[in-house]
Structure 1
Amino acid sequence: MSDGPPDTIPAIRATAMAADANPYGTIFVGWLMGQMALAAGSAASRFSGARCPVVAANGFSFKAPVQVGDEVSFHAEIVATGRTSITVAVMVWRRDRHGEGGSQAAEGRFTLVAMGADDRPMTLVAAAA
């Protein structure tokens, strides 16, 4: 784990709201995973120029709780490509709403598939050209 968030612009930035909290008062992991999938989809779609649904998610690690009111940044990086698939690593950083301090909250990987206009997987070489 690095000392701070990546130097890249987040794919998504959101404020954690009370409606996203679990019964213990911190943000529900399901909300984080959903936002992570959106960030991965954004990166994959920009790369391929196509719709990219998630087909697999793995390697999740939750490192620090996210509190209601935290600003949450989702950094997405393409780490591998296949014939039709794109693997995206997503790192989540939280920052206290009233300060500059923050910490890494989560990380995980998503595999997405680029889809053509016919709703069938499309070859990435053609898409990236």
Structure 2
Amino acid sequence: MSEQLDEPQGDLTLRTLAMPADANPAGDIFGGWVMAQMDIAAGIASSERARGRTVTAAMKEMIFRQPVKVGDTLCIYTTVTQVGRTSMTLSVECWVRRQFSETRQKVTQAIFVMVALDAAGKPRPVDS
């Protein structure tokens, strides 16, 4: 199956526009900015699942398959794939809709591990 026929997996958690301030001199968006957007989306999804504060404990392997350009709409999809006692594992996919186009392309994906915290900043059970 070709990449153009792939469909995003998970819930659309974050949508934002890639702006000139996020780009390098070649006009490509910095990978660190893309990673930060994915981390924000993982935080939103995990906080909703835990009904409280969560933090990023780990992120597993990101491979950039396509560049993100200024003017692209970045769409981040999340799926909670596993829930432990105090942590959750999320699959996070990053797609772009190219500026002035219907074309969507998967840019990257990663696995995020998020930990639920109590008011004192200590790990707490996810389902508490």
2:112 aligns to what?
110
**Deviation of residue 2 (structure 1)?**
7.4
Partner amino acid, structure 2, of 1:59:
E
Structure 1 stretches of 5 or more lacking a match? none
1:64 aligns to what?
66
1:8 and 1:52 map into 2 onto residues whose CA distance is: 19
2:11 and 2:89 map into 1 onto residues whose CA distance is: 19
Identity of aligned residues (%): 35
Does structure 1 residue 76 correspond to structure 2 residue 115?
no
| Local SS of the residue matching 1:118 | coil
Structure 2 stretches of 5 or more lacking a match? none
1:8 and 1:99 map into 2 onto residues whose CA distance is: 23
Does structure 1 residue 124 correspond to structure 2 residue 106?
no
**Structure-1-length-normalised TM-score:** 0.90
1:43 aligns to what?
45
1:99 aligns to what?
101
* Paired residues of 2:4 and 2:105 also in contact (CA < 8 A): no
**Structure-2-length-normalised TM-score:** 0.91
1:115 and 1:99 map into 2 onto residues whose CA distance is: 41
Partner amino acid, structure 2, of 1:85:
S
CA RMSD across the alignment: 1.6
